[in-house]
Amino acid sequence: MMTPSHERTPRLQPYTGPALLSYGFRPFFLLAAAYAGLGVLIWLPMFFGEFAMPTAFSPLDWHIHEMLYGYLPAVITGFLLTAIPNWTGRLPLQGGSLAGLVAVWIAGRIAVCASAVIGPLTSAAVDGLFLLLVACATGREVIAGRNWRNLPSIFIVLIFLAGNVIFHVEDYETGSAQFSSRLGIAAAVVLIALIGGRVIPSFTRNWLARENPGRLPVPFGRFDQAVLIVSVLAMVSWVANPAWLGTATLMLFAAAAQTLRIARWAGHRAWRDRLVLILHIGYAFVPLGFAMLAAHVLVPQVISISAGIHAWTTGAVGTMTLAIMTRASLGHTGRDLAAGPLTHGIYAAIVMAGVLRIAAAVLPDATTALLHAAGAAWVAAFWMFAAGYGPLLVRRRRGRP
């Protein structure tokens, strides 16, 4: 399941093409996982000067761009192209149209990697086309289905589109892309807060009502709205002025509010269902990131900005995307919603990657070793997903011809 059970059921049309192109999550989850692992495997030797790529970006900016505006949009697209038909009851994007969108994403990755050869303008145009098409396709479906409550998800896609364009311009003009990097990270965290705040309590409630009656997650209400407002204000301030004392204050309020929010979801009562538990663990990196970035402003000699950023990116983004990818892949291919040994290994590896990457930022004497360890755990998590879930994604759903 991609969304809470009260959403509408999508209409389906006869489809006889490759199973990989029958639903958006199939190609995009598989390619995103393979690329996430490959990207870090390539970046570490680039960062240490052992390997060079014909990209106009510095090794660090290439890494940031390809995780924020390459990998993550692929996962978001897979999620939205599968969730929106459930939200609206309209037909999913399939076949040739889906293949074309996949091809544009692949072209963008090649263009960025070869931007020093084809030129920054061509690279930016090819790379930016993907998110523009995603925004148009998903926005059209939400508007045609009159599903106004999900327009914020499309707005986040537009922010990613703007951030990607700004990234190319900023890097070309200044040789760095700090503002657009923060903008992309902020958009990712807000998206996790929006989608996570919707699916985590719902999935937790469903499991508890069936398996462990008692205290249930508190439904979305004014408290959640207040948490989102405070979090968005903190993110806007951080994007605009990350070193401002006022930003640190807002970050601390957001950290406290997000901690209270996740505590209201009763995740500890659903610990026996790892598909549910991992969502709570992944979301816990969100308040941790707020707290660490506030601490960086207050005591920069103790907590580096990298610690907070990677609590959000490696920790929250990495864990939450894999949590959604595994659950959706099982549910939408007709498998039982249960975490087997492979899935446990994926979850352990990605959480370890998040912890190790934060440690690399706060323990300067061990940074190199911890960077390699975190990278190895990250690659293991995503390539285990690609190897283990790939066969499910390329085969037809169980119970269907």
Span 240-284, pLDDT tens digits: 999 999 999 999 999 999 999 999 999 999 999 999 999 999 999
Instruction: Indicate whether 259 and 115 sit together in one domain.
Output: no
pLDDT, position 154: 86
Distance from C-alpha of 287 to C-alpha of 289, rounded to nearest angstrom: 5
Does pLDDT of 400 surpass 70? no
Last residue of a domain, one of 176, 206, 229: 176
Q: How far is CA 380 from CA 15, 39, 72, 254, in A?
A: 34, 12, 18, 32
Does pLDDT of 73 surpass 70? yes
Instruction: Indicate whether 231 and 342 sit together in one domain.
Output: yes
pLDDT band at residue 12 under the 50/70/90 scheme: low
Task: Establish if 14 belongs to a structural domain.
Answer: no
Distance from C-alpha of 225 to C-alpha of 194, rounded to nearest angstrom: 10
Span 43-60, pLDDT tens digits: 999 999 999 999 999 999
Instruction: Indicate whether 74 and 153 sit together in one domain.
Output: yes
Does pLDDT of 8 surpass 70? no
pLDDT, position 320: 98
Task: Establish if 5 belongs to a structural domain.
Answer: no
Q: Which two tokens stand for residue 318?
A: 């990495």
Distance from C-alpha of 27 to C-alpha of 196, rounded to nearest angstrom: 23
pLDDT, position 1: 41
Instruction: Indicate whether 137 and 35 sit together in one domain.
Output: yes
Instruction: Indicate whether 254 and 108 sit together in one domain.
Output: no
Furthest CA-CA distance within the chain: 61
- Positive or negative, the CA dihedral 200, 203, 206, 207 is negative
Q: How many domains does the chain have?
A: 2
Does pLDDT of 4 surpass 50? no
pLDDT, position 309: 98
pLDDT, position 23: 92
Task: Establish if 50 belongs to a structural domain.
Answer: yes
DSSP-based three-state secondary structure for 91? coil
Instruction: Indicate whether 259 and 369 sit together in one domain.
Output: yes
Instruction: Indicate whether 155 and 224 sit together in one domain.
Output: no
Task: Establish if 172 belongs to a structural domain.
Answer: yes
Task: Establish if 200 belongs to a structural domain.
Answer: no
pLDDT band at residue 401 under the 50/70/90 scheme: very low
Instruction: Indicate whether 315 and 258 sit together in one domain.
Output: yes
Distance from C-alpha of 325 to C-alpha of 329, rounded to nearest angstrom: 6
Task: Establish if 8 belongs to a structural domain.
Answer: no
The residue type found at 243 is A
Instruction: Indicate whether 155 and 225 sit together in one domain.
Output: no
Last residue of a domain, one of 144, 159, 176: 176
Instruction: Indicate whether 169 and 227 sit together in one domain.
Output: no
State the average pLDDT for the chain. Answer: 93
The beta strands (E) that lie in 204-295 are given as: none
pTM of the predicted protein model: 0.93
Task: Establish if 63 belongs to a structural domain.
Answer: yes
Instruction: Indicate whether 306 and 376 sit together in one domain.
Output: yes
Span 192-222, pLDDT tens digits: 999 999 899 999 999 999 998 889 999 889 9
Helix (H) / strand (E) element for 357: namely: helix 341-362
Does pLDDT of 145 surpass 90? no
Q: Which two tokens stand for residue 6?
A: 């009260």
pLDDT band at residue 10 under the 50/70/90 scheme: low
pLDDT band at residue 333 under the 50/70/90 scheme: very high
Instruction: Indicate whether 305 and 239 sit together in one domain.
Output: yes
pLDDT, position 350: 98
Range of the domain at 104: 20-176
pLDDT band at residue 3 under the 50/70/90 scheme: very low
Listed residue (302, 64, 70) closest to 178, CA to CA? 64
Task: Establish if 68 belongs to a structural domain.
Answer: yes
